[in-house]
Structure 1
Amino acid sequence: MQRALRLAATPGVPLGPNPRVGCVLLDGSGAVVAEGLHRGAGTPHAEVAALREAGEAAAGATAVVTLEPCNHTGRTGPCVDALLAAGVRRVVFAQPDPNPVAAGGERRLREAGVEVAFGLLEREARRLNRAWTFALEHHRPFVTWKLATTLDGRSAAADGTSRWISSRPARLDTHRLRGECDVMMVGTGTVEVDDPRLTVRDEVDAPLPHQPLRAVVGMRELAPDRQVLGDDAETVLLRTRDPHEALRALHERGRRHVFLEGGPTLAAAFLGAGVVDEVVAYVAPQLLGAGLAAVGDLGVTTMADAVRLHVDDVTVLGSGAETNVRLTMRPLPAPGTPAKETP
C-alpha cells in the first residue's frame, strides 16, 4: 500500500475532478506482478493501467489500491468490471470512495466472490487527496487563502507598492502550492490593479504544461488587455459577489481545490462566509506602519469575536534580506459551533 501511495503521488499528474490513485498487483507469493497509476481525467484508472501491464498474470492476483475501485461509467468504464474480468482474487483498498456516483465497488466485488479488505493506511490516502475528499464530502471546493504580509499586517505600502513583500524563496514556494490546486482565484479589483498572469511557473519563470483554471470573481468589467484573459491558461469570469455561488459554480465544473490570491475585499468575503479552509501566510520581517491591510473589514469590534487560527506549520524560507516565514493555518470554529472536518 505504501508503494501504491507513492505511485499515486507521482509528480506532474494534472489535477481536476479525479483523485490521485495508485495500484499494485501481487501474485500468490506477494511478489509484484504489475503497477499502475491514474494520470488524469480521461486516462485509464490505476487498476486498469496495472491490469494491462499484468496481462494474464492478473488472474488470481491481489490488487492493492489507494481508493475503492469505482463502480460507474464516466470517461472510462468501471474498474470493478475490469478487476472481475481479469480474475483478480482479492482487493485491498485504503479509502472508501466518498463520491456517491462512483461508490459501491466494495459491495459488487464481494457479491462476485472477491475477497475485500479496506482501511489500510486510510489516513494517508485521505491526506493525499485531501482537497478532492473534502470537496466530495462538503459539495464545494477546498479553499486555501494565500497572503503575503509585512510583520504589521500590510499587503502594500501607502503608495500602493507591494514588490517585494514576498521573497524569491517564498514566490517559488507559492508556485509550488499553486501547482497543487486546480483553480487560481482573484477578484476583479486585483485584476485591474495588479494585472496578474495567475499561472504556475518554474524557477526560471517558464509556465508549466498543466495550468489551473483562472477564476475572476466580481461584477466589474475587465479591460480586454488584462493578462488573465490571455491564452496561456483557461479563465472563467464568475459574475457574483457571493462566495458560495462562486464555489458552487466551480464545483459543478469538477474543480476541487481553490487557491485564493485575491485582495483584502475578496479575502474578507470568503472569511466572512466561512469558506476558507486553510490559510498560508508569508510574513516578511518588515514594518510599514501604514498601507493596505492584508484583509478587509470582518465586522470584528472586540477581541472575543476575532477570527482565530490554529497553526499547523511554521517554516522559514530563505535567509538575510530574502527571508519570509510561512505559516500554514486553519480557521478554528467560533465558540459553540461544531468543528469542520478537514482531511
Structure 2
Amino acid sequence: MATPNELTAMRRAIAISAQGLGTTSPNPPVGCVILDRDGVPVGEGYHLRKGDHHAEVNALTAAGERAEGGTAVVTLEPCNHHGRTPPCRQALIDAKVSRVLMAVMDPTSRGEGGAVVLEQAGIEVERGVLEQEALLVLGPWLHSLRTGRPYITWAYTAGAAEGGDDQAVKELRRMHDLVIRRDGTIEEGVRSGHGGDAFRVPNPPLGKESEKVLHALTEAGAHTVLIEGNSNETANLLADLVDCVIIDVPDTPPSSVPLSMNGLIPPGFRLVNVGDVGLRGRLIAKREISRDRH
C-alpha cells in the first residue's frame, strides 16, 4: 500500500507531467518524483519531447545519490527498451532505488515490461497507484494509441461571439499537439515544441472529407488536436469524431452554470467538469460512447 507521502508524491508527479502536454508526442507526458529512504522528496522531473531525457532520468539526476534506497514515484510504467535514450528501468536499477510506484501500465512496453524487470532486480513494485488521476493527463495519449487517431477536443463559446486570444485560450492551446484555428489555420499548440523529425504541421486546407482530414492529422504525428470556434469547418467535418467539448459560457458564474446548461451539452456527451475562466463559466464534457472503431 502507498503511504501518505507516496500518494502526495504521485499527485505531484501527475501535476508536473502535464508540463509535457503539447510537446511530447509521439511519446507520452510522464512525471516522476524521487523520495529518499526517509520519504522526503529529493528530485522530480518530467518528459518534455522525444529525444530528450525521460521523466525518471530527470528526477534521478536532480536527486543524485539521495535516490539510493529511496522510492521512485512515476505516472507511467518505466520503459523497457533502448530507443533514443536508454531504458528508464535500468536507470532506476542503477540508482539503487528500493521501491517503484507507478500509476498506469505502459501498453507499448517491450518484452516482459519495465515493471517485471524491476522486480527481477529485487526492487519492490506497486502498480495502479492513483491510476484514474494519472489518466487525466495520460488518457488522450492512450486513446490515440488504442484508436490509431488523435484525441480531438472542440472548444467554443456558447451563444456569443468568440472570445479573443486571452490567457485561458493560450493555455488550452499549449496542451495540444495541433490547433486548428477558426480561420482554418493549423499550428502547433507550442510553437516548435516537438522534436524536429517526430512531428510536422500539415498544410491547410485538409480537404472536405472527414476520413482524409483525420488521416492528415494522424500522419502529422498528432496525438491531440484542438479545434477552435463555433463555425470552424473542421469541427463540422469531424463532429462525430470529437471526443471532448469545452464550452465557455459568458456572463455566467460557475455556480449558475448547471442550472442553465440545458441545451449547451451536445447529445452523446456527458458533463465531467464545471469550472471558471475569468468571469465566465466553463463546461467540459466527454463523449459517452467509445469511438474506438475510428
TM interval, short-chain normalised: 0.7 to 0.9
Deviation at 1:244, TM superposition (A): 3.6
Deviation at 1:10, TM superposition (A): 4.1
Deviation at 1:245, TM superposition (A): 4.1
Matches of 2:211 and 2:12 in 1, distance apart?
38
Q: Which residue is equivalent to 2:201?
A: 235
Matches of 1:259 and 1:35 in 2, distance apart?
29
- CA pair 101-250 structure 1, distance change in 2 beyond 3 A: farther
- Quick one: which amino acid aligns to residue 247 of structure 1? L
> SS of the counterpart of 1:8?
helix
TM-score, normalised via structure 2 length: 0.74
Structure 2, gaps ≥5 residues long: 1-9, 252-265
Q: Which residue is equivalent to 1:261?
A: 228
- Quick one: which amino acid aligns to residue 279 of structure 1? V
CA distances 1:44-70 after superposition (whole Å, capped 9, x unpaired): 111112222333443333211111101
Matches of 2:226 and 2:21 in 1, distance apart?
18
Matches of 1:181 and 1:282 in 2, distance apart?
18
- CA pair 249-83 structure 1, distance change in 2 beyond 3 A: farther
Number of equivalences: 264
Matches of 2:43 and 2:87 in 1, distance apart?
19
Matches of 2:112 and 2:146 in 1, distance apart?
13
> Of residues 272, 278, 283 in structure 2, which corresponds to 1:327?
283
Q: Which residue is equivalent to 1:222?
A: none
- CA pair 110-177 structure 1, distance change in 2 beyond 3 A: same
- CA pair 242-78 structure 1, distance change in 2 beyond 3 A: farther
Q: Which residue is equivalent to 2:178?
A: 183
CA distances 1:176-210 after superposition (whole Å, capped 9, x unpaired): 211111111369xx44xxxx58576xxxxxxx765
CA distances 1:216-260 after superposition (whole Å, capped 9, x unpaired): xxxxxxxxxxxxxxxxxx631265444344334433443211112
After superposition, the CA RMSD in angstroms is 3.5
TM-score, normalised via structure 1 length: 0.64
> SS of the counterpart of 1:119?
coil
CA distances 1:268-287 after superposition (whole Å, capped 9, x unpaired): 3212xx311011234568xx
- Quick one: which amino acid aligns to residue 238 of structure 2? F
Q: Which residue is equivalent to 1:70?
A: 79
**Percent of counterpart pairs with the same letter?**
35
Q: Which residue is equivalent to 2:4?
A: none
Q: Which residue is equivalent to 1:44?
A: 53
> SS of the counterpart of 1:4?
helix
Structure 1, gaps ≥5 residues long: 152-164, 201-207, 214-233, 286-305, 334-338
